[in-house]
Structure 1
Amino acid sequence: MSSNTVAIGTHTLNYRIDGQPGHPWLVLSNSLATDHEMWQPQIDVLTRTHQVLRYDTRGHGMSSAPDGPYEFDHLVSDVIALMDALQIETAAFMGLSLGGMTALGLALEHADRIDRIICCDARSDAPEVYKQMWPAMIGKAREAGMDALVAPTLERWFSEEFRANPANRPALDRTGDMIRRTAVEGYAGCASALMRLNYLPRLAEISVPAHFIVGELDPAAPLEVMRDMAAATPDAQFTVIPGAAHLSNIERPDLFNKTVTGWLGRA
């Protein structure tokens, strides 16, 4: 395994590689206000069959935060530039929330480099009510710092049952730490990209195998929204993770991992 930084234009991306050389590549992309460590519950199982590349989205984790606002074209091109730097010709790609939206952009624009996608707990458009929430969130981060977003974000990201169980305190604390170490400019830049999200009209153009996964209780990417996304994507698979909210990979890693490894094995 290795953890390194690579220059991508005017900024740097932090990345980590796990797994055995020679296995097919799988790239993992984090949600808004987390970093590559959000995928830790998946690494043991995914590295049995894949060489796994995790990276911190620009402005997150240990990646630098260029001046915003950002566009999804920027986030998509970052992935291709990272793959180029590491001499990765093709890879499967899995992302959650912001990372899942990045997966859609990659499938649409770089089907020659991305051979399949798993899009988790993500939207493909930004309806007006969704757009309107972000300026206040950005303003809160700029005025009070990322710590001010920890409590309300954890409340949205995890079910009440999960948050009430003392055994899950370490997972909540680790997630809170990821939020705190997100650069304000990175958060604001990526949130601005979310406000202009508009992949929904193009989902029918996706030509690579796609699997949509959503937590049953996800308020940010509701089950019905993701079911419609899957229906609009040719031959896509759709799976609901029972009892999970937004970070379904952390809340129900058992079911999430079984779903992902099963589909990757069949695909």
Structure 2
Amino acid sequence: MNTLSYFHTGDGVRVAYRFDGDAGRPVLVLSNSIGTDLSMWDAQIPALTQHFRVLRYDTRGHGGSDVPAGAYSLDRLGRDVIEMLDALRIERAHFLGLSLGGMIGQWLGVHAPERIDRLILSNTSAYLGPAGQWSERIASVLQAPDMVDTAQMFLGNWFPAHMLEPEAPVVSAFRAMLLATQPQGLAGNYAAVRDMDMRRTNALIVAPTLVIAGEHDTVTAASHSEAIAATIAGAKLLTWPAVHLTNIEFGEAFDRAVVDFLLAR
């Protein structure tokens, strides 16, 4: 299946998804970062589909998914995943999320352990307070005339300077994703991040967990990943000298680490 398909959540939101890989293989769900769509994982697909049936989706407010009004919650974002698995009749799956996707992964690990086999949390955080900064960002993005300045801010936080000047083709692809994101979609997900705090509840996660950190990540600092790994019993931590999108900067190593962890006995 190479085109987008859709399902409707319990609150009536249409969410886009796609499958890649052999239907007979274990399912691996990929969850995107804020400001991107499922194509942020394109580089990973050749390696991951050798072993898994990869299920990607656009988080509500992004890509081909609907952009409902108002604030979103992490609980709702997590339930979107559960309802997608239900709609597709998938009982259990591996889950890999980066940034916002990793926050959703933590929620799933805590609240739906029976649905998650192995969990990978990349460049993410259990808490990104204080809340006031997110309320300011919500107001700012909704008042801005366009997404140009917001896109520039994100790219500066996501990539090292050598990829920005001159702009690498992969950066241009992420710029296009950001510019295509509707302000309300970004604002709604900002609210979910604002209201999130899983610093204590992460101790309830029982799925085998790999945490991936970027040494130079200014969005979700490496110390945040270290805290997550210290809270989840038996979690493994990998750190690379990356900024925020480790799957882009260290693609081959990232793919290898993901496959090795998910196939480990």
> Over residues 71-98 of structure 1, what are the superposed CA-to-partner deviations in whole Å (9 max), with x where a residue is unaligned?
1110000001011111111100000000
Paired residue for 2:138?
Answer: 138
Q: Secondary structure at the match of 2:69?
A: coil
Q: Could you give the per-residue CA deviations for residues 149-197 of structure 1, whole angstroms, max 9, x where no partner exists?
A: 1111100111123323x4x621111001111111211111110010111
Gapped runs of 5+ residues in structure 1? Answer: none
Task: Kindly report the root-mean-square deviation, in angstroms, between the aligned alpha carbons of the 2 structures.
Answer: 1.3
Q: Any idea what the Cα deviations from partners look like across 1:200-227, whole Å, max 9, x if unmatched?
A: 1111111111110011110111112211
- Answer yes or no: is the 8 Å Cα contact 1:241–1:255 preserved in 2: no
Which amino acid is 1:126 matched to? Answer: L
**Contact (CA 8 Å) 1:241, 1:256: kept in 2 or not?**
no
Q: Is the 8 A contact 2:37 2:59 kept in 1?
A: yes
Alignment partner of 1:254 is 2:256:
no
Query: Unaligned regions of 5+ residues in structure 2, if any?
Result: none
Task: State the distance in 2 between where 1:125 and 1:186 align.
Answer: 20
In 2: Cα distance, 1:161 partner to 1:180 partner: 22
> What SS class does the counterpart of residue 168 from structure 2 fall into?
helix
CA distance in 1, matches of 2:137, 2:246: 22
* Alpha-carbon distance in structure 1 between the residues aligned to 2:203 and 2:100: 20
Distance 2:172 2:221 in 1: 25
SS in 2 for 1:68: coil
Q: TM-score, normalised by structure 2?
A: 0.95
For 1:39 and 1:187, the matched residues in 2 are separated by 19
Residue 115 (structure 2) pairs with residue 113 (structure 1): yes
The aligned amino acid for 1:77 is R
Q: If the length of structure 1 is used for normalisation, what is the TM-score?
A: 0.94
What SS does the corresponding residue of 1:5 show, helix, strand or coil? strand
- Are positions 1:200 and 2:202 aligned together? no
* Number of equivalent positions: 262
Contact in 2 for aligned 1:68/1:186 (Cα 8 Å): no
- Equivalent residues in 2 for 1:172-187 (5 A)? 172-187=171-186
Segment of structure 1 superposing worse, 53-62 or 131-140:
131-140
How big is the shift at 1:148?
A: 2.4
**What amino acid sits opposite 2:249 in the alignment?**
E
Where 1:112 maps in the other structure, the secondary structure is helix
1:35-81 deviation digits (Å, cap 9, x = unpaired): 10001111000000000000000010010011221111100000010
Q: How does 1:227-266 map to 2 (within 5 A)?
A: 227-242=226-241, 244-266=242-264
